[in-house]
Amino acid sequence: MRTHSKKKSNPLKWIRFRIILVGTVLGFCFALLMGRAFQLQVLDGKQLQSKAQVQYKKALYNTSKRGTIYDRNHAELAVSINMASICAYPRQICSPKQSASALARALNLKQDAVLERLISGKTFVWIKRHASPTEVSRVEKAGLRGIGFVTERRRFYPLKSLAGQVVGFCGTDGRGLEGIEFYYNSFLKGRKSSRTVLRDALGRIFMGSESSPEDKPGYNLTLTIDKNIQCIAEQALYEGVREFGAKSGIVLVIDPRTGALLAVAHEPSYNPNAFGQYEPWLWRNRAITDSFEPGSTFKILLGAVALESGLCTPGSEFYCEKGAYRIGRNVVHDVHPHERLSLEDIIKYSSNIGAAKVGERVGPAYFYHKLKEFGLGDRYGIDCPGEARGSLLPVGDWTEIDAGTLCFGQGVSVSALQLAVAVSAVANDGLLMKPYLVQRMTDVDNRILKSFLPTTLRQVISSENARRLARMMERTVEKGGTGVRAALRGYRVAGKTGTAQKPDPARRGYAKDKYIASFVGFVPVENPEIVVLVVVDEPLKEHYGGVVAAPVFKRIIRETLRYLNVPPELATPECIGPPGREDQRQQGEAFRVSREVPMMG
């Protein structure tokens, strides 16, 4: 009996053991499952949730309308228009090769490039941004599955190349890349809105979700540029550059009383509607960003400093060494020998030796101090990207020849803006004004949000000396002066020519066949309305400022004064005819002198 009961108990024991074993294994597996669930739901829950949302949630952005840019008379320079962009949903396309072929024909694209996008495996790809209405119509007629159309805003410049370097342009995404578009991008772009939607595995949208606040249009800008004066300047510059086979040219027209830029012209220009078709160096506003050696136009500043020092008067005479003057180991030459010239005759005949003698009397320290007051070597802070400082060595680094050549505009570099603003101070009774390009900022309802008023920087010379210098500059355009071709019948014109050789870094000197011809002046002399600077780079047929740049200056002031309804002055000498050989030789004087002098430093 005892043996039998023992045999009966063994099966029960193994059954209990198996139950315990299976329960333990199941419990362990359940514990692992719960641990994994805890990890996925609690520890990694937020991370996994965000990954999942990326797959089925998509944010659709509605770009706000970019602000409009106007000229001073409210003419549109830059506007935003609606255009259709063509996109594709590759997962919905059954035959990528057939669709790629049809799209390539309709949009004039390479079939391989289109096919690569369609087989990329992405849920969304762009085929062509900002397509033309004709292209959109072709694609619609093709009736391709998985092809969509998205309405986007594109920047459009209705006046094409007019003031292109000033206004700048935007990229495909609507962000400003150059000019005013870049500098004021944060104000022009406005605030965009977004909407979150749900999509299925094929990328199809089936439900909308939360949305952000409504988009806010960008602010509008009104510039100081006058499109009519801009057109006058661009046309005159175009003719001048083409006539003399020059590489490029710049024109600045400024209101000397306020510092407002009325025109900033460049040649060659470019069309911001198709900026990609032009070389990048054409995009920038070179009147602001590039610097050059001014040559004899710099003698205006020398005259201003000489008068302000109290050591010179317009009649102060200087011995001009009969055409050759040794400074250290170097010799400065004048084309026409002179014995004694007054300060006003030094300006009129553009004597380099006379200018060096004036600089010696004034002294390097005072000369440097006053040039810094005019803004040379610094930035004015104009509302335009890339403003250049120019180059003005500290007075302690000047050598004897540096001090001499700087008096006639070599060994120093300025931007066109710096030179024009400095001369504007002379026209404005010695008061230096901060240059600016934007008059006001308005909202979509044309309410003024901010006005940019004229800003006075400082008094650089007295009003009396400014008027004396203006009369000295007036003699430059009279018979015998270097700027006779800038004379305009009925008006008194003040100006100065400049002809400078371009530095050649490879030779550590000056190039023998590359020049910058310039003319800067203002009109009328007694109550100046405009200051105009003309700079022509590397003219081929002629290179004297009085021959190349002065006629461009004359065309600009003639048409601009007529446009501004500025009446002729009563007491005005008769307009002088074309210069003879003697006058042309005078106009070449600065060039003949500059090539005798080595590069500064």
- Measured over the CA atoms of residue 446, residue 450, residue 451 and residue 452, the dihedral's sign is negative
Amino acid letter for position 336: H
- Does residue 67 surpass a pLDDT of 50? yes
**Contact indicator for 206, 56 with CB cutoff of 8 Å:** no
- Does residue 513 surpass a pLDDT of 50? yes
Q: In which residue are the tokens 């002065």 written?
A: 550
Question: Which of 83, 461, 127, 444 shows the shortest CA–CA distance to 305?
Answer: 461
3-state helix, strand, coil in the chain (%, to 5): 40, 25, 35
Query: What distance in Å separates the CA atoms of residue 243 and residue 251, rounded to the nearest whole number?
Result: 16
Provide mean pLDDT across the span 94-111.
Answer: 87
Across 205-222, b (16+ Cβ under 10 Å) vs e yields: eeeeeeeeeebebbbbbb
Q: What is the pLDDT of residue 334?
A: 79
- Does residue 340 surpass a pLDDT of 80? yes
Amino acid letter for position 380: Y
Provide mean pLDDT across the span 156-176.
Answer: 93
Q: Which band of pLDDT confidence, cut at 50, 70 and 90, is reported for residue 51?
A: low
Q: What is the pLDDT of residue 518?
A: 96
Q: In which residue are the tokens 């004066």 written?
A: 229
Task: For Cα atoms 582, 583, 586, give the angle at the middle one, nearest 5 degrees.
Answer: 90
Query: What distance in Å separates the CA atoms of residue 405 and residue 419, rounded to the nearest whole number?
Result: 17
**Contact indicator for 144, 96 with CB cutoff of 8 Å:** no
Backbone angles phi, psi at 256, to 5 degrees: -65, -20
- Does residue 596 surpass a pLDDT of 60? no
355: Cβ contacts below 8 Å, ≥ 6 apart: 299, 302, 346, 407, 408
Query: What distance in Å separates the CA atoms of residue 436 and residue 415, rounded to the nearest whole number?
Result: 15
How do beta strands 205-211 and 220-223 pair?
unpaired
Query: What distance in Å separates the CA atoms of residue 522 and residue 25, rounded to the nearest whole number?
Result: 100
Q: Which residues are catalytic?
A: 296
Q: What's the chain's average pLDDT?
A: 85
Provide mean pLDDT across the span 418-437.
Answer: 97
- Does residue 470 surpass a pLDDT of 60? yes
User: Above pLDDT 70, what percent of the chain?
Assistant: 86
Task: Write out pLDDT tens, residues 269-311.
Answer: 999 999 999 999 999 999 999 999 999 999 999 999 999 999 9
- Measured over the CA atoms of residue 95, residue 98, residue 104 and residue 106, the dihedral's sign is negative
Q: Which band of pLDDT confidence, cut at 50, 70 and 90, is reported for residue 530?
A: very high
Backbone angles phi, psi at 477, to 5 degrees: -95, 5
Q: Which residue has the higher pLDDT, 576 or 40?
A: 40
Q: What is the pLDDT of residue 173?
A: 82
The CA-to-CA distance between both ends of the chain, in Å, stands at 127
- Does residue 588 surpass a pLDDT of 70? no
- Please state which of the ranges 6-20, 43-57, 479-493 shows the lowest mean pLDDT: 43-57
Query: What distance in Å separates the CA atoms of residue 447 and residue 439, rounded to the nearest whole number?
Result: 14
Go through the domains of the chain in sequence order and give each one's CATH number.
Answer: 59-223 (3.90.1310.10), 227-594 (3.40.710.10)
Q: What is the pLDDT of residue 578?
A: 47
Q: Which band of pLDDT confidence, cut at 50, 70 and 90, is reported for residue 59?
A: low
**Contact indicator for 119, 182 with CB cutoff of 8 Å:** no
Query: What distance in Å separates the CA atoms of residue 421 and residue 382, rounded to the nearest whole number?
Result: 11
> What angle separates helix 227-243 from helix 545-563, to the nearest 10 degrees?
160
